[in-house]
Amino acid sequence: MRMRTSAGVVVAGALAASVLAVPAAQASGRLGDTAITKVTVNGGAAVVVGTSTAKKFSVTLTAKDDSGISEADITLFGPSFGMLSPSSTSCSGNTCTAKFVVDPKVDLAYDNGVAGTWYVDAWVDANDGDYVWTEKVKSFKFQRASKLTVNASPEPVKKGRTVTVTGKLTRANWDTFKYHGYAKQSVQLQFKKKGAKSYSTVKTVKSSATGGLKTTVKASKDGHWRYSFAGTSTTPAVSAGGDYLDVK
């Protein structure tokens, strides 16, 4: 293995927010015909972390070289000086897999700012001594887990009467390791009539300073009411489980 510059030196399993500063940016480079052809993070899904359970995910990198691939260094960088290194990395054929474990109470303590767009930096060595180093070879979302509730009342209700639909949008807070209200977010109120297969949007509601949701509608048909949030760069989309309302 060649000597790596400081960009490849990380603290295993820990974010740099509390222990390191992100090193100065480096230009991508290569020697020979080694090339990275594909990078997949967490199977193509966002990495979503809650308040207590450790999140495990993998980064899979495919590369090519006429001599074959020897090994790879894969590092993740994010906002607020976030940095993660893998717990293990292995290569088989032209594919290398780096495994990551993020414990919110260890790696994310007191830094909600690391949520957002992250990047994969990768260095790949070939068997003949060729190599390729690429910064930001792949981007992905690293997000604070979200929750959404709904309650439609009164129930049952007479047709034509007013129905009040309440709920709350919350997301993981890595300062307190609890779920706090997500304020001033647009959330859709949706309805699925009895026997239907899909929901339709009725109106859009803004969450309060504490994440609360409240609006009124007229009772017309039996069916399920729910709130649905489209998500942001730091917080994943989420829909509440439908609350069935019986209209008499």
**Radius of gyration of the chain measured on its C-alpha atoms:** 23
Residue where the block lists tokens 């960009």: 7
Q: What is the mean pLDDT of the chain?
A: 90
Q: Characterise 129 by phi-psi region: left (phi > 0), alpha (psi -120 to 50), beta (else).
A: left
Q: Which strand (E) or helix (H) includes residue 170? A: strand 162-173
Residue range 192-203: average pLDDT? Answer: 97
Output 76 or 21, whichever has higher pLDDT: 76
Cα 9 to Cα 226: distance, rounded to the nearest angstrom = 47
What pLDDT band is residue 12 in, cutting at 50, 70 and 90? Answer: very low
Q: Which amino acid is at 188?
A: Q
Please give the DSSP secondary-structure letter assigned to residue 242: P
Q: Which amino acid is at 214?
A: K
pLDDT band of 7, cuts 50, 70, 90: very low
The CA distance from 159 to 41, in Å, is: 49
Nearest C-alpha neighbor of 220 from the set 153, 134, 159:
159
Mean pLDDT across 130-141: 97
Structural contact between residues 99 and 25, judged by C-beta atoms closer than 8 angstroms = no
Q: What is the pLDDT of residue 27?
A: 53
pLDDT digits over 13-69, tens only? 444 333 333 333 445 898 999 999 999 999 999 999 999 999 999 999 999 999 999
**What per-residue confidence (pLDDT) applies to 144?**
98
CA distance 181 to 169: 6
pLDDT of residue 196: 96
Q: How far is CA 12 from the centre of its chain?
A: 21
C-beta separation of 93 from 28 below 8 A? no
pLDDT of residue 110: 82
List the end-to-end C-alpha distance of the chain, in Å, as a whole number.
74
Taking residues 190-212, report their average pLDDT.
97
Distance CA(98)–CA(72), nearest Å, equals 9
Is 165:151 a contact under the CB 8 Å cutoff?
yes
Q: What is the pLDDT of residues 86-131, one digit of tens each?
A: 999 999 999 999 999 999 999 988 889 999 999 999 999 999 999 9
CB 118 within 8 A of CB 82: yes
